[in-house]
């Protein structure tokens, strides 16, 4: 349990979910919005939502009590941030609104308060232009739906003090979520990868290779099925980097530029580092743990198949 004072500025969809999980983690949270009335109305919505989540078994049984005790609606941004150790900005994705809000937050917050932004797409360095003492500012990017998606991108900009990142990691870890540190680059990691996949998927539809429905089925039931357990590098190491190099060569017969063999892959193959089977690849999995890894993988996939079976199909059709 943390004894932290946190302010969430922008109590809408994302800010609301972030406030819920922070409050459940034990932090004291002040919510700010355009007005006190809006913040109060959103707090009521968060409590009602949490009641439903508890009834559905999605939140711990004491979640409503914790949110009622730990979250309050502030009269203004200035009031919300005045004694905060950490402030998360979650106002709309418009640079003018973000700049004006971050200027107000940084003018009213303690000089040692850490300020995070939930921006999905705006460079953190660009947002930092409006922050006084920008060394205490970074991206803290929760995913939708914030109460239930476990990953959070932490994005320091060029001038962020690296020493404060550990504190943000602790705050997020207290909610049960996982963080990864990334550089301030357009699209960050999540959106760059997600949109690269979506781009190729839409090309397949446009070329008439498969319908949107059939592509979704393939993604869900083949490589997407692995992704909760293994990221693309672990998957490549397990498949064999020489196999990946062959696949690239095949793809190049039709799309020579789009699927040029990545240099980092070719260098590993040339060095005989072919992934798990050689004990070295992108992730250096020791060869003597291969049997353990295969056993984990098989168990994970069977557990995933059972879970999907129990849940039934998504109500899309």
Ligand X SMILES: NC(=O)c1ccc[n+]([C@@H]2O[C@H](COP(=O)([O-])OP(=O)(O)OC[C@H]3O[C@@H](n4cnc5c(N)ncnc54)[C@H](O)[C@@H]3O)[C@@H](O)[C@H]2O)c1
Closest CA to 75 of 116, 30, 28: 30
If binding is defined by CB under 6 A, does position 12 make contact with ligand X? yes
Closest CA to 132 of 173, 154, 96, 103: 103
Residue nearest to ligand X (CB): 12
Rounded to a whole number of angstroms, the minimum distance from the CB of residue 290 to ligand X is 37
Q: How far apart are CA 32 and CA 39, in angstroms?
A: 6
If binding is defined by CB under 6 A, does position 120 make contact with ligand X? yes
Residue 152, beta-bridge partner list: 142, 179
If binding is defined by CB under 6 A, does position 90 make contact with ligand X? yes
Name the segment binding ligand X (CB under 6 A); options: 5-13, 166-174, 180-188, 295-303. Answer: 5-13
Report residue 119 CA to chain centroid gap. 11
Q: How far apart are CA 40 and CA 272, in angstroms?
A: 61
Nearer to ligand X, 40 or 297 (CB): 40
If binding is defined by CB under 6 A, does position 151 make contact with ligand X? no
Q: How far apart are CA 98 and CA 187, in angstroms?
A: 17
Nearer to ligand X, 144 or 167 (CB): 144
Q: How many CA atoms lie within 13 A of 253 on its CB side?
A: 4
Name the segment binding ligand X (CB under 6 A); options: 89-97, 155-163, 165-173, 257-265. Answer: 89-97
Nearer to ligand X, 50 or 234 (CB): 50
If binding is defined by CB under 6 A, does position 153 make contact with ligand X? no
Residue 88, beta-bridge partner list: 8, 116
If binding is defined by CB under 6 A, does position 26 make contact with ligand X? no
Which residues does 39 contact at the CB level (< 8 Å), separation at least 6?
11, 31, 32, 33, 73, 74
Nearer to ligand X, 145 or 286 (CB): 145
If binding is defined by CB under 6 A, does position 179 make contact with ligand X? no
Nearer to ligand X, 13 or 233 (CB): 13
If binding is defined by CB under 6 A, does position 37 make contact with ligand X? no
Rounded to a whole number of angstroms, the minimum distance from the CB of residue 175 to ligand X is 15
Range list of H helices, the chain: 13-24, 36-55, 63-70, 77-81, 95-108, 124-128, 165-173, 190-206, 212-221, 223-226, 232-239, 241-252, 263-270, 290-311
Instruction: Determine which residue in the list 7, 8, 14, 138 makes contact with ligand X, applying CB under 6 A.
Output: 14
**Residues contacting ligand X: total by CB under 6 A:** 21
Please, are residues 174 and 2 in contact by the beta-carbon 8 Å criterion?
Answer: yes
Instruction: Determine which residue in the list 7, 22, 33, 285 makes contact with ligand X, applying CB under 6 A.
Output: 33
Nearer to ligand X, 148 or 223 (CB): 148
Rounded to a whole number of angstroms, the minimum distance from the CB of residue 271 to ligand X is 39
| Planar angle of CA 6, 164, 284, nearest 5 degrees | 120
- Residues forming contacts to ligand X in the complex (CB under 6 A) are 9-15, 33-34, 38, 90-93, 97, 101, 118-120, 143-144
């Amino acid at each position: 349990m943390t004894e932290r004072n946190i302010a969430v500025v922008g109590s809408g969809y994302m800010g609301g979910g972030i406030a819920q999980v922070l409050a459940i983690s034990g932090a004291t949270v002040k919510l700010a919005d355009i007005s006190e009335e809006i913040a109060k109305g959103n707090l009521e919505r968060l409590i009602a939502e949490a009641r439903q989540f508890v009834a559905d078994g999605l939140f711990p049984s004491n979640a409503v009590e914790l949110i009622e005790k730990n979250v309050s609606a502030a009269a203004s941004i200035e009031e919300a941030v005045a004694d905060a150790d950490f402030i998360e900005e979650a106002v709309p994705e418009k640079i003018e609104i973000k700049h004006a809000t971050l200027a107000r937050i940084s003018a009213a917050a303690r000089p040692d308060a850490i300020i995070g932004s939930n921006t999905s797409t705006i460079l953190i360095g660009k947002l930092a232009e409006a922050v006084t003492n920008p060394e205490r500012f970074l991206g803290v990017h929760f995913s939708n739906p914030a109460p239930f998606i476990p990953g959070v991108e932490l994005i320091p900009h060029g001038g962020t003090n690296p020493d404060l990142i550990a504190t943000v990691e602790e705050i997020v870890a207290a909610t049960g979520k996982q963080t990864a540190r990334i550089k301030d680059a357009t699209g960050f990691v999540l959106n760059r990868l997600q949109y690269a996949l979506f781009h190729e998927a839409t090309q397949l539809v446009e070329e008439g290779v498969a319908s949107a429905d059939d592509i979704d089925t393939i993604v869900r039931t083949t490589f997407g099925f692995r992704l909760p357990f293994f990221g693309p590098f672990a998957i490549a190491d397990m498949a064999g980097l020489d196999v990946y190099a062959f696949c690239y060569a095949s793809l190049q017969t039709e799309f020579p530029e789009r699927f040029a063999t990545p240099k980092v892959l070719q260098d590993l193959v040339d060095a005989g580092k072919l992934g798990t089977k050689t004990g070295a690849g992108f992730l250096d999995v020791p060869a003597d743990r291969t049997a353990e890894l295969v056993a984990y993988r098989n168990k994970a996939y069977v557990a995933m198949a059972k879970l999907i079976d129990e849940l039934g199909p998504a109500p899309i059709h």
